[in-house]
Chain A
Amino acid sequence: MINKIGRDIPDEYLKNGVEPFQGIYYRDGYQYKKAAPTVRAYVKPDGNKLVDSIHDAVVKSGLKDGMTISFHHHLRDGDYVVNMVMKEIHKLGIKDLTVCATSLGKAHNYLVTCIEDGTVTGISTSGIRDEIGEVVSEGKLKHPAVIRSHGGRARAIEDGTVKIDVAFIGASTSDAYGNASGKGGKSDTGVLAYADGDAKYADKVVVITDTLVDGPNFPASIEGVDVDYVVKVDSIGDPEKIATGALRLTKDTRELNMAKEVAKCIYYSGYFKDGFSFQTGAGGPSLATTTFLKQYMEKDHIKCGWAMGGVTEPIVDLFKAGYVNEILDDQSFDLAAVASAHTQNHFEISASQYANPFNKGAFVNQLSFVILGALEIDTGFNVNVVQGSNGILRGAPGGHPDTAAGASVSIIVAPLIRSRMPTVRDKVTSVTTPGESIDIVVTDYGVAVNPRRKDLLAAFKDTNIPLKTIEELRDLAYQYAGKAKASRIYRPGRCLSRIP
Chain B
Amino acid sequence: MAVTNRIRRSMIFLNTQRAALVKDAFVYHPDCVIFDLEDAVAEGEKDSARIQLYQTLKHVDYQGVERWVRVNALDSDLVNEDIRAAVAGGTEGIRLPKTETAAEVKEASAKITAAEKEFDRPVGSTMLMAALESPLGVMNAYEIATADDRMMGIALSAGDYTRTMHAKRTVAGTELFGARSQMLIAARAAGVMAFDTVYTDTDNEEGFKKELQLIKDMGFDGKSCINPKQIGITHEIFNPSAAEIKHAEHVLQAVNDSKENGVGVLTVDGKMVDVAWVEGAQRNLKLAKAAGIYKGALV
Question: Measured between alpha carbons, how far is A251 from B23 in the docked complex, in Å?
Answer: 20
**Which of B27, B28, B231, B232 has the largest number of chain A CB atoms within 10 A?**
B27
Contact yes or no, B28 A254, CB < 8 A: yes
**Residues in A neighbouring B28, C-beta threshold 8 A:** 253-254, 257
If the complex has contacts A253-B227, A464-B292, are A445 and B27 also in contact, measured as CB distance less than 8 A? Answer: yes
Which residues between 262 and 297 of chain B lie within 8 Å of chain A, taking CB atoms? 292
Is B135 engaged at the interface, CB distance under 8 Å to the other chain? no
Tell me which residues from 443 to 500 in chain A have a Cβ below 8 Å from any Cβ of chain B: 444-445, 464, 479-480
Q: Answer yes or no: B228 CB below 8 A from chain A CBs.
A: yes
Q: Which one of A251, A257, A464 contacts B27 once the chains associate, using CB atoms below 8 Å? A: A257
Cβ of A256 within 8 Å of any chain B Cβ, yes or no, is yes
Question: Could you tell me the distance in whole angstroms from the C-beta of B128 to the nearest C-beta in chain A?
Answer: 29
Task: Decide: A253 near B60, CB < 8 A? Known: A464-B292, A480-B24.
Answer: no
Range for the number of chain B residues in contact with chain A: 10 to 19
In the complex, per-residue mask of B18-42: 1 if CB is within 8 Å of any chain A CB, else 0: 0000011001100000000000000
Q: Is the CB of A254 within 8 A of B27?
A: yes
Which residue of B61, B227, B229, B231 has the most chain A CB atoms within 10 A of its CB atom?
A: B229
A253–B61 touching, CB < 8 Å: no
Closest B residue by C-beta to A251: B229
CA–CA, A253 to B28, complex, Å?
8
Given that A254-B27, A464-B292 are contacting pairs, would A480 and B60 also be in contact in the complex, using a CB cutoff of 8 Å?
yes
Q: What's the nearest-Cβ distance from chain A to residue B222, in Å?
A: 18
Q: Which B residues lie within 8 Å of A480 (CB)?
A: 23-24, 60
B residues near A253, Cβ cutoff 8 Å: 28, 227-229, 231-232
| 8 Å CB interface, B239-267 against A | none
Which B residues touch A254, using CB under 8 A?
27-28, 228
- Tell me whether B61 and A444 are in contact (CB under 8 A): no
Q: Are A444 and B23 in contact (CB under 8 A)?
A: no
A254 to B228, CA, bound (A): 8
A441 to chain B, nearest CB (A): 15
* Shortest distance from the beta carbon of A63 to any chain B beta carbon, whole Å: 51
Would you list which residues of chain A between 241 and 274 have a CB under 8 Å from chain B?
251, 253-254, 256-257
For A464, list chain B residues within 8 Å (CB).
Answer: 292
> Which residues of A are found within 8 Å of B27, using beta-carbon distances?
254, 257, 444-445
Q: How far is the CA of A445 from the CA of B28 in the complex (A)?
A: 9
A409-448 Cβ-contact flags toward B at 8 Å (1 or 0) = 0000000010000000000000000000000000011000
CA gap between A417 and B231 in the complex, in Å: 22
Q: CB-nearest residue of chain A relative to B23?
A: A480
Contacts of A417 in B (CB 8 A): 24
Cα distance, A254 to B232, chains bound together (Å): 12
| Chain B 222-240 per-residue mask, 1 if CB under 8 angstroms from chain A, else 0 | 0000011101100000000
A479 touches B229 (CB 8 A): no
- Measured CB to CB, the nearest residue on chain A to B227 is A253
In the complex, how many angstroms separate the beta carbon of B199 from the nearest chain A beta carbon?
15
Complex contacts, A444 vs chain B, CB 8 Å: 24, 27
CA distance A417 to B229 in the complex (A): 20
Smallest CB gap from B25: residue in A: A254
Give Cα A257 to B24, complex, Å. 14
* CA of A318 to CA of B24, assembled, Å: 34
A401 to chain B, nearest CB (A): 29
Question: Nearest B residue to A254 by beta-carbon distance?
Answer: B27
Q: Measured between C-beta atoms, what is the minimum distance from B67 to chain A in Å? A: 16
CA distance A256 to B28 in the complex (A): 10
Interface string of A136-163 (1 = CB under 8 A from B): 0000000000000000000000000000
In the bound assembly, the distance between CA atoms of A256 and B292 in angstroms comes to 21
Q: Give Cα A251 to B228, complex, Å.
A: 11
A479 x B61 contact (CB < 8 A):
yes
Residue of A nearest to B229 (CB): A253
Interface positions, chain A 373-408, Cβ under 8 Å from B, are none
Residues of B within 8 A of A256 (CB): 229
In the bound complex, CA of A253 to CA of B227 (Å): 9
Q: Whole-angstrom distance from the CB of B228 to the nearest CB of chain A?
A: 4
Distance from A298 Cβ to chain B, minimum over Cβ atoms (Å): 18
Residues on B with C-beta less than 8 A from A251 are: 229
The docked-state distance in angstroms from the alpha carbon of A224 to that of B187 is 82
Complex Cα distance A444/B228, Å? 13
Sample (18) of A-B pairs whose CB atoms are under 8 Å apart: A251-B229, A253-B28, A253-B227, A253-B229, A253-B232, A254-B27, A254-B28, A254-B228, A256-B229, A257-B28, A257-B232, A444-B24, A445-B24, A445-B27, A464-B292, A479-B61, A480-B24, A480-B60
The 6 closest A-B pairs by CB, nearest first: A253-B228, A253-B229, A444-B27, A253-B28, A445-B27, A480-B23
In the complex, given contacts A253-B229, A479-B61, what are 16 additional A-B residue pairs having Cβ atoms less than 8 angstroms apart?
A251-B229, A253-B28, A253-B227, A253-B228, A253-B232, A254-B27, A254-B28, A254-B228, A256-B229, A257-B27, A257-B28, A257-B232, A417-B24, A445-B24, A480-B23, A480-B24
